[in-house]
Amino acid sequence: MVKYQGELDSLCGIYAICNAIEYLGIKGEHDKLFKIICESFHIKRYPSLLCEGTYFGELKRAISKCKKELPELSQIKVSYPFWFRKNIPKNNERYWKYFDNLFDKLPTERRCAIIGLTKPSDHWIVVTKERYKKNIHFIGFDKKAPYKAKRRSSLHAGERHSRKELVIDRKELIFFERT
**Predicted confidence pLDDT, tens digits, the chain (179 residues):** 555 555 556 788 998 999 999 999 888 778 888 999 999 998 898 888 888 889 999 999 999 999 999 999 999 999 999 887 677 898 999 999 999 888 887 666 689 999 999 888 888 999 998 766 778 888 876 667 677 888 888 889 987 666 777 899 999 999 999 98
Q: Report d(CA 110, CA 57) in Å as an integer.
A: 24
Closest CA to 13 of 107, 92, 114, 90: 114
Question: For residue 131, what are the β-bridge partners?
Answer: none
Q: Report d(CA 100, CA 56) in Å as an integer.
A: 22
Q: What's domain 12-178's architecture?
A: Alpha-Beta Complex (3.90)
Detail the DSSP E strand segments found in 37-165.
76-79, 111-119, 123-129, 135-139, 147-151, 155-157
Looking at residue 27, its pLDDT comes to 82
Contact 127, 117 (CB under 8 A): no
